[in-house]
Structure 1
């Protein structure tokens, strides 16, 4: 899988190159910020028409990760939909795909800032999920051993090309990359992210292979980073 395994607390976790997190001992697959229906939401609110394929692309990637890992539980860390109306506007084909992915496994939807209420879909709807001393939520707080999303982190190895979506982690916090196809990102060196971490921070870059590198402070003042078409 070209993945990267690491220890977080007392647990062995694996960052998949797709941006999903695999917890083998729990047979749990965790993804964050799918933002399904983003093109639909942009069209409704601004009239700008984007190719309506991001939901299919994101669900295809999720289907692949589920086929490879065969999880007992899938945990979505919030902002699974770009807004609550997007959850209701899935095509019949996308709805069928999602239903088939849920079949035979536990499916946990955590609320995000884009989808703060219950969804009319199968699964269990929660604000946070706790297991084995780990706390899963959408937006980072001060909790020890916390796994969250929301910020869509990205990082570029200095002198080695463009930024890639990434996991960010230190001894007490893990932030997942955005999993969705139409999602932008926030630089790992942006003060919004650096203030959340203490000590050494590691980025695990997504792509063909998950690559683990230390995050080096930016040599230049951070410029504003705006996610394409949406706030985090």
Structure 2
């Protein structure tokens, strides 16, 4: 499993190539912006018709990570469903699949702007969650204390690939905040240097950690001379569940 380790607010975190975050010390897996039911929501609202397979694909990738890591806790960092009605629009097998993934785990649904308020599904429904030095919320807040982990913006960055520019989802961090990429299959993104993201970050220290293969870290903004971004450590060996 391709991964990068970072020291964040005194905690050893592992950023996975899939776009998930693994906090081994707390056996906690975090996913942001699943947007389950997006194709159903588009069809229901008379929008463009999308192939209705994204929920199954998103659940399959999440299932693979849960099987490999065996987390005791899963945090879904908001916009888990594409709107408040999307849960009811899931196929029965998709709903049962989700319930199987949740079984026996502390499953936390953080409220998002697409799915505010408690939904008719098991688990804990919270506006935000603080665990030790880390606070998990959907949208980064101005003036937040160090250790904030959020989603919402679906950050991406343009890179050169085989002579052309392509956009890849990424984690964005300045060592104080961490913004996660969207995990859902049908999710676009906002460039990491766009004003809504840039105004939150200490620009001289802001890194993008690319998802996919290969993972890489890149400065988001031009680095002033003599400045270096915070170092990343080698990730720990990821232990699969026995």
Both structures adopt the same fold (TM-score exceeding 0.5): yes
Q: How many angstroms apart in 1 are the aligned matches of 2:24 and 2:30?
A: 11
Q: CA deviation at 1:159?
A: 6.9
The farther-off stretch of 42-51 and 105-114 is: 42-51
- Does the 8 Å contact 1:15/1:210 carry over to 2? no
SS at 2:108's partner residue? strand
Which range is displaced more, 9-18 or 160-169?
A: 160-169
SS in 1 for 2:138: coil
Q: Secondary structure of 2:166's match?
A: coil
- Aligned position for 2:144: 143
Deviation, structure 1 residue 158:
5.4
Structure 2 unaligned regions, length at least 5:
223-242
Q: What secondary structure does 2:30 align onto? A: strand
Query: What is the distance in 1 between the residues matched to 2:186 and 2:74?
Result: 21
Q: Please, which of 172, 197, 213 is the counterpart of residue 176 of structure 2?
A: 172
* Partner residue, 2:23: 23
Which of 190, 200, 205 is matched with 1:200 structurally? 205
Is the CA contact (8 Å cut-off) linking 2:160 and 2:166 kept in structure 1? no
Aligned counterpart in structure 2 of residue 188 of structure 1, from 181, 187, 192: 192
Shift of 1:69: 1.0
Q: CA deviation at 1:156?
A: 2.1
> What is the correspondence of 1:1-232 to structure 2 with a 5 Å cutoff?
1-141=1-141, 142-144=143-145, 145-157=147-159, 161-198=165-202, 199-217=204-222
TM-score (norm: length of structure 2): 0.87
Q: How far apart are residue 89 of structure 1 and its match?
A: 1.1
Equivalents in 2 of 1:209, 1:68: separation in Å? 20
* In structure 2, distance between residues paired with 1:16 and 1:130: 21
- Aligned CA RMSD, in angstroms, stands at 1.5
Count of aligned pairs between the two proteins: 218
Deviations, residues 159-213 of structure 1 (Å, cap 9, x unaligned): 7741100000012100000000000000111112111101311111011343222
CA contact (8 A) 2:33 2:183 kept: yes
Deviation at 1:96? Answer: 1.1
Cα-to-partner distance string for 1:110-141 (whole Å, 9 max, x where unaligned):
00000001111111000000011111000000
SS at match of 1:162: strand
